Amino acid sequence: MTTDSIQPPPGRRTSMRDDQKRLTRERLVAASYDAFTRCGYSAATIRDITNAADVNRATFYLHFSGKPEIFLAAADHLLARSAFDHWKTLDTALITGTRRSIHNWLIDATQWWLDHAEFVSAWNEALAIESTLRNSQSAVYDRIGHSLTQYEASLPEGPERQRAVLLIEMLVLQLNSVITQYWQPDTSPSERAETLDLLADIWCMTLRITTASASAS
State the Cα–Cα distance between residues 90 and 162, nearest whole angstrom: 17
Question: What average pLDDT does the segment 22-36 reach?
Answer: 95
Which one has a higher pLDDT value, 86 or 211? 86
Distance, CA of 30 to CA of 36 (rounded, Å): 10
Q: What is the dihedral of CA 93, 140, 171, 87, to 10 degrees?
A: 10
Q: What is the pLDDT of residues 57-101, one digit of tens each?
A: 999 999 999 999 999 999 887 776 666 677 789 999 999 999 999
Q: Residue 12's pLDDT is what?
A: 54
Residue 124's alpha-carbon distances to 39, 85, 120, 159, in angstroms, are 13, 22, 6, 31
HSE-CB for 125 with a 13 A CA cutoff: 15
- Inter-residue contact 80 to 2 (CB < 8 Å): yes
The answer to whether 167 and 160 are in contact (CB under 8 A) is no
- What is the per-residue pLDDT across 172-191, written as a single tens digit (0 to 9) for each? 889 988 888 788 778 899 99
Q: What is the pLDDT of residue 63?
A: 96
Residue 6 above 50 pLDDT? no
pTM, full prediction: 0.75
Q: What is the pLDDT of residues 131-153, one digit of tens each?
A: 888 777 666 666 676 788 899 89
Q: At what angle do helices 16-39 and 46-53 cross, to 10 degrees?
A: 130
